Amino acid sequence: MREEDKSEGYGAPVELTEGPFKGWLTWGDGRDPFETLVGPLVFRSEGDGRVRAAFLPDHKHLNGGGALHGGSLMSFADFALFALAHEALQGTFAVTVTFNAEFVGAGAAGVIVEAEGRVLRQTKSLVFVQGVLTQGGAPILAFSGTLKKIRLPATVRA
């Protein structure tokens, strides 16, 4: 982890400067190896205070039947939990302690998948979030989860 990220939780997200998500933010810039592998997974704050996350699936995100793999959708939804809770998590690290998903439609490669949702409640150590993934305006996955704010041991932060 970079020195500047140690005191500020995950640190400030990085703004993308090119490609279809120019101007969007990500943590998948190498700080989270899995998100870097499956992404780019991105998010941004909308003018009305809402947060929206997105990714553009390609062939590597498909299952054997040619639809978006459930694991790729759940990975993106987990990213979206953190994006939606970004303000509530300022200055801290967090982990997912519960994750719920209901598949409500099939997705395809080549069309942007978006996530919108909200923080339902937050306590001193927990943040409760819910949202929905859509593709082309149609819902494909409803999700919710609980994030636990944690203090990482020095060996992990170093």
47: tokens are: 């003018």
pLDDT digits (tens, 9 = 90+) for 105-145: 999 999 999 999 999 999 999 999 999 999 999 999 999 99
Does 1.20.120.10 match the CATH number of domain 3-157? no
Each residue of 107-139: b (16+ CB within 10 Å) or e? beeeeebbbbbebeebeeeebbbebbbbbeeee
92: tokens are: 């801290």
pLDDT digits (tens, 9 = 90+) for 33-47: 888 888 889 999 888
Three-state secondary-structure class, residue 57:
coil
Three-state secondary-structure class, residue 70:
helix
CA separation for the pair 69, 110 (Å, rounded)? 14
113: tokens are: 């998948």
CA separation for the pair 85, 53 (Å, rounded)? 11
pTM: 0.87
Structure confidence at residue 26 (pLDDT): 87
